[in-house]
Amino acid sequence: MRADRLLQIILLLQQHPRLSARELAERLEVSRRTVMRDMEALSAAGVPVYTERGRNGGCVLLPGYRADVSGLTPREAQALFAWSGRASLSEELGLRDALQSAMGKLSSTLPLQLQDDAEALSGAIVVDRRRWFAEAEDTGALPVLRQAVVTRRRVRVRYASATAGRPVRRTVDPWGLVEQAGRWYLIAAHRGVSRMYRVSRIEQVDVLDQPSERPEGLDLQEEWQRLRSGLERSLPAGVDVVVRVRPERAELVRRIATPMLAKGEQARDVPADDEWPHVAMRFRVREAACGVLLGFGGDVEVLEPADLRGRLLELASAAVATYS
């Protein structure tokens, strides 16, 4: 949330005559490079900030400058209130009351017309990050993890790994939290190696009275992209399929299959020589395609590729043998 971070920089520089880039980076939990980019963005936006080099240098805000929210434009006010409407996000983090209190203080300084317009938009926006037909994620450990990240304390977790046969216990250094499409992940180091841990699989978390170790200049956004790219490369290969679908089930097939498709892909109709629609889809993972398509029984027939048809026949035969 860069806008929130930029505002924090202004508030910190209002409180302190001068802060080094390192001090700002530590307070905001970003890299010094990120702080310098943010200072450039603030300066370009007309905020009187500047940097001084040398032993006593640092990041400085022109004395006497104060952020005046009463000067917000209608679009700016609406943007802030629309963001505050993500109540589920702040609630999962254990910050819903704090967000409501902060927005109340902010709204009290706005002109009445801006308050009315912003609150009208906030009441007309609902953010639902949960995917279709997916159960809500268990984020009970999230508030404790948030506090551990902020206070930089090491944690001991009991983690139900997707690959391990039983939960494992690990002591990790928490670096940050990532919310991705309704799922929360903890980025933490175990024995010096960074990993991602799905929060819904953390069965227990204990904050230890030990400071966590965090690399100097860590950029959490870059680290997340690195871990995510590594995971995506390790997944089994995807597959392109063409299916024929019973007409009355076509829309349901598209809706259920969509979360399993490759990034940016959508189910699309292709020319057909019969009354059943023919639909082309690219699944991220081959076995996911088998599970989804086989679940529709005779309402869906895979036309291509031939080897996937063979795999579905094997799975269907095994199911018949089990249940007959």
Does residue 234 have a pLDDT over 80?
no
Task: Kindly indicate the confidence band of residue 96, based on its pLDDT and cuts at 50, 70 and 90.
Answer: low
Task: Kindly indicate the confidence band of residue 213, based on its pLDDT and cuts at 50, 70 and 90.
Answer: very high
188-219 burial string, b = 16+ CB within 10 Å, else e? bbeeeebbbbbbbbbeebebeeeebebeeebb
- Report the range of poorest mean pLDDT among 105-114, 121-130, 139-148: 105-114
Does residue 214 have a pLDDT over 80?
yes
Compute the mean pLDDT over every residue in the chain, rounded to the nearest whole number: 82
pLDDT of residue 115: 61
Write out the DSSP string of 221-242: HHHHHHHHHHHHHHSPP-EEEE
pLDDT for 174-191, tens place per residue?
Answer: 999 988 877 889 999 999
* pLDDT (average), residues 243-254: 92
pTM summary value: 0.56
pLDDT of residue 296: 92
CA separation for the pair 9, 19 (Å, rounded)? 10
Q: Which domains does the chain have, with CATH numbers?
A: 2-61 (1.10.10.10), 69-123 (no CATH), 142-234 (2.30.30), 239-323 (3.30.70)
